[in-house]
Amino acid sequence: MTETSPQPTSVKKILPLILATAIFMQMLDSTILNTSLPSIARDLHESPLNMQNAIISYVLTLAVFMPASGFLADRFGTKKVFIFSLILFSLGSLFCSMSQNLTHLVISRVIQGVGGSLMTPVGKLALIKTFDKSELLKAMNFAIIPALIGPVLGPLVGGYMVDYLSWHWIFLINIPIGVLGIILGLKYMPDYKSTDVDFDLKGFLIFAAASLLLSISLELFGDMQNISPVLFVFILGFLFLYYYYKHARRGGNPIFPLDLFQVRTFRVGIVGNLATRLGISSVPLLLPLMIQIAYKQSAVTSGWIIAPMALTAIFGKSSVIKILDKYGYRQTLMVNTFIIGTLICLLAIPDIYTSLYWFVPIIAILGFFNSIQFTSMNTISIADLRNFQTSSGNSLISVNQQLAIGFGIAFGLIVLKLFENSDFIEGEIHNAFRYTFLTVGILTIISGFVFRRLHISDGKNMQSKED
């Protein structure tokens, strides 16, 4: 099947469910680990603050391999690549549950990440090619419901499994869901291919190398004894970025064309995404760690405290269009970023004797404004892209988001370790968390000034649409 063609009614009914299965697995897996890290760390004889590799390795693998998903689907067919991705993700989950040390867990998470990087993009591609534009929004809305439910269930399911079963089950739960997806995919997934296959392999490898090197430099910074290797890897990462810039300037068909960055709203959206997510992405990991390490509470308790963030995000998503229609993108993003940064700073106020319930309203409000932030940033990024730029632009936005999440987690833990090892906190680990939230919150507030580059009228053509 080389192009879109009419599909049987049964395929149109089941295909959104297949994509929903893939999205649910990926979203559940992205959030379920946060409340489980202390338990996994104890079993693997590691410090909970050294477990960030288990999360970052997965997120960065998604970012590195996502640009290849479209090419692989065109070359080998959407059905084969989707089934392969589900098998790979399920095998990675099984290997995670069998891990005997942190190295095994990281390798298994990379296998999971390769599967995840293909699973959702290829499923979305099949959906886009199957449904007419008039039907697509309804189908996509059904498919992305798990993206809202997953973050609610993740911390709770992870907490209960760790407390009442064992941490191994947070990975084993993926296997029956994966098997269901494979069975449905074999029967109902259409197999679209393209005869016009052109992939910038060299550009992909250069960009992947730059992403990995910059991420590794953050990891080394967190555990460094010597600044020299950190600077070397960091500079090498930027050299690869410059190499990619030179490669893309030569023309041809680069994986991320440079003319994307000539579009001001795209440029501001990309930079704003990266800057604001540095703070936002660290909170869902730092807060469960603090509740379990400093407050000595269970994984279930930390899961219940985090859950309102995802529930209120659903209300934020339904409100964002009205807010943007009234205030516009520039004002919404600047004020919203300031509110988010202030809320993160408020997490630093309670001392070790304060009730944990103090965090619940802050987290609930934070989830609402996070949802507005992400929807606004994503839509303004594509607001002025032309049709021929949309595919590569969307791909780069997805990659940028995954890198920003990885960088945010690494950054938050680096700041936490710096405070933990300083005399400033007087030996109280809880104070290290408090100063980390304060630092991250202030930086988030400052990042809001990125959106001053927007014009008041920017995004007018997007205010009747939802991402």
pLDDT tens-digit series, residues 298-323: 777 877 887 787 778 777 777 777 88
Residues 158 and 288 in one domain: no
- C-alpha to C-alpha distance for 256 and 382, rounded to whole angstroms: 14
Tens digit of pLDDT for each residue in 150-203?
A: 666 677 777 777 777 888 888 888 888 889 888 888 888 888 777 666 777 888
Are residues 127 and 246 located together in one domain of the fold? no
Position of tokens 């890290």? Answer: 37
User: Do 378 and 434 fall into the same domain?
Assistant: yes
Q: What is the pLDDT of residues 89-143, one digit of tens each?
A: 999 999 988 888 888 888 898 899 899 888 888 887 777 777 765 565 566 656 6
Query: Is residue 317 domain-shared with residue 370, that is, in the same domain?
Result: yes
Please report, as a single letter, which amino acid is at residue 407. Answer: F
Residues 187 and 211 in one domain: no
Question: How many C-beta atoms surround the C-beta of residue 241 within 10 A?
Answer: 16
Q: Based on the fold, state whether residues 296 and 243 are members of the same structural domain.
A: no
Which SS3 state, helix, strand or coil, does residue 194 take? coil
In whole angstroms, what separates CA 38 from the centre of its chain? 21
Structural domains of the chain, count: 3
How far is residue 285's CA from residue 204's CA, in Å, rounded to a whole number? 30
Say which residue the tokens 């009747």 belong to. 464
Q: How many residues does the chain have?
A: 467
Domain of 189, in residue numbers: 1-198
In this structure, the answer to whether residues 336 and 294 fall within a common structural domain is yes
Are 336 and 406 members of one domain? yes
The pTM of this model reads: 0.74
- Tell me the pLDDT band of 45, cut-offs 50, 70 and 90: confident
- Taking only the tens place, the pLDDT of each residue in 243-262 is 988 888 887 778 788 888 88
The domain spanning residue 377 has which CATH number?
1.20.1250.20
Residues 192 and 206 in one domain: no
pLDDT over 90 percentage in the chain: 9
